[in-house]
Amino acid sequence: MTEQPVTEASDRDRALPSWAEGPTRDAILAFVASVSSGPDAVPEAERIAVFDNDGTLWTEKPMPTQLAYIVEEWKRQAQQDASLAERQPWKAAVTGDYGWLGGALDKHYAGDDADLQVLIRGVVGITAGMSVEDYAASVSRFYAEAKHLTLGRPYSAAVFKPMIELLRYLEAHGFTVYLVSGGERDFMRPMTEDYYGIPPEHVVGTALGLEWDEETGDVRYTAALDFFDDGPVKPVRIWSRIGRRPLLAGGNSNGDMAMLDFARKGGGMALLVHHDDDSGRGDQPYDAGAERALGAASDRGYTVVSVKRDWTDVFPEA
């Protein structure tokens, strides 16, 4: 059988198979073609794509994955010290009050960080004094054993299939992909290569404080937060870590707007994932934490990705 030549049309037909035919898919394909081919192609070194994690590359409801890990650690701490069970955030963990935990993040995206600060104080207490290798091993065990709270599937199968296809499509057209998340960097690094094909050195995220332990020869966590990688901090961290303005950015919340604007104002593309699917395919519909981004999408030139209309599949097979 004679092998058929690869043409722009055949490439387009095979691209992004879990994306529905329509204006969103067409816009992505047209943009990638415009920057990767022809006389106006952008040099490969400048084809940088950045993506948020929670709610963009995998599901974040009923609460972000890192919170599921942290909740188990808080429960363990409360078992060792019963007085903690009367204080937040340990109280929410012990009583299963996931609404309080998720609400703390929703309130952050609405501009109220009071409960977020409570969360952060609880988070830094988990790792204080721990070596980076011991933490990575603990997180890896979590990923190997835990299942999503409502989907009942491994977290590796709670990624968004269409977005993974998009990552591969971008790489096939000369893009270098980075993960830029408000999630904690070292919690993501043990899984990003296996789940997303993104190496750990391409992970930019919130960071806990670190210090060198000369006696043991270890890098250990301090009881402090180094920086919270969200909102206007995201473009700053992109520049400090990557040194280039992204050509394409993807996010899903108010906290991603500065990153999306960083791409758009440089002539790039910004994708905003909208969780509007009420069909029962497993992705919980919600606007909380994304109201400003959705309301400003048209004026700011964001391409809104509707989970309901633009994705024919949401998750890979478990």
CA dist 211 and 223 (Å) reads: 10
**The pLDDT of residue 10:** 57
Q: pTM for this one?
A: 0.91
Which of left, alpha, beta for 214 (phi over 0: left; psi -120 to 50: alpha)?
A: alpha
CA dist 158 and 301 (Å) reads: 29
Are the C-beta atoms of 307 and 275 separated by less than 8 Å?
yes
**The pLDDT of residue 187:** 96
CATH topology of domain 8-61+154-310: Rossmann fold (3.40.50)
With a CB cutoff of 8 Å and minimum separation 6, the contacts of 190 are 136, 139, 140, 143, 200
CA dist 34 and 278 (Å) reads: 34
**The pLDDT of residue 5:** 46
DSSP string across 225-266: EEE---TTHHHHHHHHHH-S--SEEEE-SGGGHHHHHHHHTT
DSSP string across the chain: -PPPPP-HHHHHHHS-TTBPSSHHHHHHHHHHHHHHSSTTPPPGGG-EEEE--BTTTB---SS-HHHHHHHHHHHHHHHH-GGGGGSTTHHHHHHT-HHHHHHHHHHHHTT--HHHHHHHHHHHHHHTT-BHHHHHHHHHHHHHH-B-TTT-SBGGGSB-HHHHHHHHHHHHTT-EEEEEEEEEHHHHHHHHHHHHS--GGGEEEEEEEEEEETTTTEEEEEEEEEE---TTHHHHHHHHHH-S--SEEEE-SGGGHHHHHHHHTTT-EEEEEE----SSSSPPP--TT-HHHHHHHHHHT-EEEEHHHHBS--S---
How many CB atoms are closer than 10 A to CB 52?
Answer: 29
HSE, CB side, 13 Å, CA atoms: give it for residue 205. Answer: 22
**What are the 10-residue block averages of pLDDT along the chain, 318 residues in total?**
48 87 98 95 98 97 88 89 87 84 80 84 88 97 94 96 98 98 96 98 97 98 94 98 98 97 98 96 93 98 98 93
**The pLDDT of residue 8:** 59
**The pLDDT of residue 262:** 98
Two tokens, residue 276: 């509007």
CA dist 224 and 129 (Å) reads: 11
In the chain, what are the domain boundaries?
8-61+154-310, 65-145
